[in-house]
Amino acid sequence: MKNMSYTIWIEAEQWENGWDIHDDNTDAIVTFENGAAICCW
């Protein structure tokens, strides 16, 4: 995967006053040009 192109997709919540640090939802997916993907949530 060295020197391979990739895309990054990020979904994040907008925190309001009083947000609970234990109740958030942020996802990220990195997809490489060969189709391999790494997901974090």
Which pLDDT score is estimated for 1? 60
Which pLDDT score is estimated for 5? 95
Which pLDDT score is estimated for 16? 76
Which pTM was predicted?
Answer: 0.62
CA 6 to mean position of chain CA atoms: 13
Which pLDDT score is estimated for 9? 94
Ramachandran class of 21: left when φ > 0, alpha when ψ lies in -120 to 50, beta otherwise: alpha
pLDDT digits (tens, 9 = 90+) for 1-41: 678 899 999 987 777 777 777 777 778 999 999 999 999 86
DSSP secondary structure code for residue 23 in this structure: S
Which pLDDT score is estimated for 20? 74
